[in-house]
């Protein structure tokens, strides 16, 4: 395994912190209704920093959707707990959008 320099490690940490900050801001916007799940998931290239976010965490970020409802959605769509957004196929992605919109309405 490659040994990284101090500068490389510092850059990795900085990028990880930036990604966490951007995800946190996105989750806040989803919760407040400034963004819709359809806007985000249909424009993943614009929101590329959520591709590695777990689907459970993404669903849970919506106002009115708690842990139980999130689990029901995951079970309904047959999504494993550790499934990431980028791993969702188009049909699962569309089903996820519909399920979230249904629960948030």
- Is 56 a domain residue? yes
- Is 17 a domain residue? yes
Query: In the numeric block, which tokens belong to residue 62?
Result: 């919506």
Tally of structural domains, the chain: 1
Model-level pTM? 0.87
Q: Considering just the CA atoms, what is the radius of gyration of the chain in Å?
A: 15
Residue 75 belongs to domain spanning: 6-104
Q: Residue 2 has what pLDDT? A: 79
- Rounded Cα gap, residues 69 and 46, in angstroms: 27
- Give 1's pLDDT tier (boundaries 50, 70, 90): low
**Could you read off the pLDDT of 30-88 as tens digits, one per residue?**
999 999 999 999 999 998 899 999 999 999 999 999 999 999 999 999 999 999 999 99
CATH number at residue 16: 1.10.8.50
- Is 1 a domain residue? no
Nearest CA-CA partner of 82 in 57, 63, 60 = 57
């Amino acid at each position: 395994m490659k040994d990284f320099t101090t500068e490389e490690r510092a850059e990795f940490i900085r990028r990880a912190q930036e990604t966490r900050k951007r995800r946190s801001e996105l989750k806040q916007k989803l919760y407040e209704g400034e963004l819709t799940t359809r806007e985000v998931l249909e424009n993943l290239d614009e929101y590329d920093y959520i591709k590695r976010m777990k689907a459970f965490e993404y669903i849970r970020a919506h106002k009115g959707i708690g842990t139980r409802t999130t689990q029901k959605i995951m079970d309904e769509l047959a999504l494993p707990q550790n499934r990431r957004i980028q791993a969702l196929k188009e049909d699962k992605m569309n089903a996820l959008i519909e399920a979230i919109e249904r629960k948030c309405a």
